[in-house]
Structure 1
Amino acid sequence: MSNPDSEAYYYDALPAYVLENLGSTRVRTKKTFLRQLAKMDYSPELIEAFQYIDRNLFLPPDYPEKYAYSKITPHLKRERGKLISSVSEPGVVAKMTALLDIQKGDNVLEVGTGSGYQGAIISWLVGEKGVVRTIEYDERVAQFAESNLHNLGIENVEVIVGDGSCGYEMGAPYDRIIVTASLPPVLLKDSPLFQQLKPGGVMVAPVGGFEYEGNCHMVAIGKSETQDPFLAKPVNISEHFSFVSMQGMHGWDAYKQGIMFGQAFYFMHTLGWGVSPQECLQQWR
C-alpha cells in the first residue's frame, strides 16, 4: 500500500483475486450490515441495492476484505498532505441514499465520485431508464471509479472529470443531487448545484466541517415550485459526520480565511433550522 503521508497516492485497478475470491469473512460482515439496515427501517429497494452491489469491489486492491463493511473509510488520494478523496463508510452511504428518496427513472447528479460505490448503489435504484452522472475533481480517482463500474457491467453511470462545485450543466436539470464532499454554508439560491436541481427535487449534502474535522451536518434540501430552498427532512444537529472538503470554484478555498457568519446564519435560519445567531456561530466557527 502507498504511504498515506506521501504527497500523492492513489489506486488504479482491481486485481483478479478481488473479483474471483469473495472471502467468507467479508460475506459474514456484509450480512450483518444488511441486517442492520433492515432494523433501521430502510426501504426494501435500498436494502436490495446494498445486497447486490458489493462494496468490496470498490475498495483499493490491497484493502483487507474483512473490513469491507466496517466503519473505516479507505483513503484514495492525498495531495500536499491533505486528504482529497476517500470511500465513505457503508452506513453513511445508506443514510445519504435514503434521504435522496430516489425513484425509478430519476436523473441524478453525484458530486464526488470516489471509488464509484455510491454511484453504483444509485444506479441500481434509478433502474434502466434512469441516469446517473457523477463528477470527480481528480482524474486518477475518476479512472479508478470508471474501472470499477465497468468491471460490474454498470452502464447507466457516466463518470465526468471536472469541478463538481459547479455542477454539470449539460445533464441538468436533476431530480436528485448528492454531494459527497462537505460544502461551505453558502447562499443556496446562488449556488450552481441548487440552480441545476428541478423544482420538486432534493439535494443531499454534508455542510460545514472544513478539512475533515468531523463536524458536518447532513442536510436534505428541497426546491419548491417557486425555486426556493427548504428542509426536505429534519436535521439532527447532534449527529456529526466527517467528509473531505469540497474543492473547486465554489468550494472551501473561497472561505479559507474564515467562514462568513452572515451566510451561515442565513443558511440555517431561512431553512427553518431553528437556531439563534449564537448557536449558529458555535456550529460553524
Structure 2
Amino acid sequence: MGGYEDLDSLAASARAELVREIELSGAWTADPVWREAFRKVPRHLFVPYYYVGVRGGYERRWGEDPDPRARERWVRGAYADAPLATRMRDGELLSSISQPSLMAMMLVELDVRDGDRVLEIGAGTGYNAALLAHRLGADDLVTTVDLDPEITESARRHLDAAGYHPAVVTGDGARGVPERAPYDRILATCALPSVPRAWPAQCRPGGRILTPLATGLVVLTVRDAEHAEGRFLHTPAYFVPLRGADRAAPETPGLGGVPRRAREDDLFRFLLALSRGGLDPQEAYALWDREDAPRRERYGITVSGERAWAWLDDPEGPYAWPFA
C-alpha cells in the first residue's frame, strides 16, 4: 500500500492532499468554512467504483479489487481533482461526480448560510449532498433529487456509509420537490436547456439558484415566485444533461458564413448555446465580433412569469433575446 497500513489511512492522506490542492486554487477563499467539509467527508465512500478513460474505452476501478495495487489506484483516483465517470451504459456516460475544485467553487457561489434549506437537483453519488449536510450541520436541511431510482438508491447507501442522512427523493428534478419547499438555495449539478419555472416558485424571496446552462454556470437571485435574475460566472462548465421527458437540447444550427476563428472559440460556442432559438448564428457572430468576444460574466438570464430571456450587460439593454 505504498507505506500505508490500510485504505483508510491512505484515503485520509489523499483527502488532505486534495484539500491542499483546492486551497491553492483559491476556490473557497470567499467562504473558507467549506475547507472543513472537504476535509471531513470521505469522497472514496461515494465512488465504490468508477471508470477512467483508457485507449479503446474505459477501465473500471473498484474498491473491492483483489489486487492491493489496484485498490490503491482506486483510492488515489477517488481523491484526484478531476471528474469521475460513475455510471456507464453501452459506452454512454449516464452519471458522474464533478471535479472537487469546481464543486467547491459552486458551493461558495451558492452562498449558503446557517439554517438555509437547500435543494440539490441531480443526486449523483450523494457526495455533494454530504458536503452540504456537513456544512449546515443538519441533515434535514438538505434535499437531493434524481429521476433514476438506481441513482437515488446508491446515493442513499453512500450517504448512510458516510454517516449523513439528507432527504433523497426519486423524481423529476425540473419539477423540484414541492413537498419540502420552500428552499433558500437550489443547486443543480446537471445541465438543463432552460430554468424550470418550478424552481423560483419553490424558493423564498431573496433565495439563490445556481445551475449549469449553455456550457456556463448562472447564479439567479429570486425576487418572488415568478421572477429571478442573475449573471453567469466566469468559468466554463460541462455537465451530464438532466434526464427526463422533453429535456433534449436543440441541434446546433448551421454555421455557414461564420469564420473559423469564431467557430473554434469557446466564448463564441457559449454564446451560440445561449442564443439558440433567440439569435441565428450570423446574428450571434455579429454580436460576438462587435463586443470583442465578451466573457461569460457579461451575460445573464431573466425569468419573469412564463417569459425568460438572455442578455449581454443589461437585461433591459439592446442585446437581449428569448431564452426557452
- Scaled to the shorter chain, the TM-score interval is 0.7 to 0.9
The 5 A counterparts of 1:27-38 are: 27=15, 29-36=17-24
> Greater RCO between the two (CA within 8 Å, min separation 6)?
1
Shift of 1:196: 1.2
Partners of 1:106 and 1:37 in 2: CA distance = 26
1:179 aligns with 2:188: yes
The 5 A counterparts of 1:114-153 are: 114-128=124-138, 131-153=141-163
Partners of 1:79 and 1:193 in 2: CA distance = 30
Shift of 1:229: 1.2
Partners of 2:143 and 2:226 in 1: CA distance = 22
1:97 aligns with 2:107: yes
- The answer to whether the 8 Å contact 2:117/2:185 transfers is yes
Whose Rg is larger? 2
Letter of the 1:43 partner, please give it.
D
Partners of 1:256 and 1:81 in 2: CA distance = 22
Q: CA RMSD in A?
A: 3.1
Q: What is the aligned partner in structure 2 of residue 218 from structure 1? A: 217
Distance 1:31 1:72, change over 3 A: closer
TM-score by length of 1: 0.75
1:252 to 227, 247, 263: 247
Shift of 1:22: 3.3
Partners of 1:240 and 1:246 in 2: CA distance = 18
Deviations 1:199-256 (A, max 9, x none): 1100101102xxxxxxx1111111115842121xx5345x31110011224x623x44
2:173 to 164, 172, 185: 164
Distance 1:25 1:153, change over 3 A: closer
Partners of 2:164 and 2:142 in 1: CA distance = 11
Which of the two has greater strand per residue? 2
Distance 1:46 1:79, change over 3 A: same
Partners of 1:275 and 1:180 in 2: CA distance = 32
- The runs of 5 or more residues in structure 1 that have no matched partner are 1-16, 209-215
1:49 to 14, 37, 58: 37
- The answer to whether the 8 Å contact 2:85/2:96 transfers is yes
Distance 1:129 1:70, change over 3 A: closer
Q: What is the aligned partner in structure 2 of residue 261 from structure 1? A: 277
Report the identity percentage. Answer: 26
- The answer to whether the 8 Å contact 1:55/1:69 transfers is yes
- The runs of 5 or more residues in structure 2 that have no matched partner are 1-5, 50-61, 64-73, 253-272, 280-300, 303-307
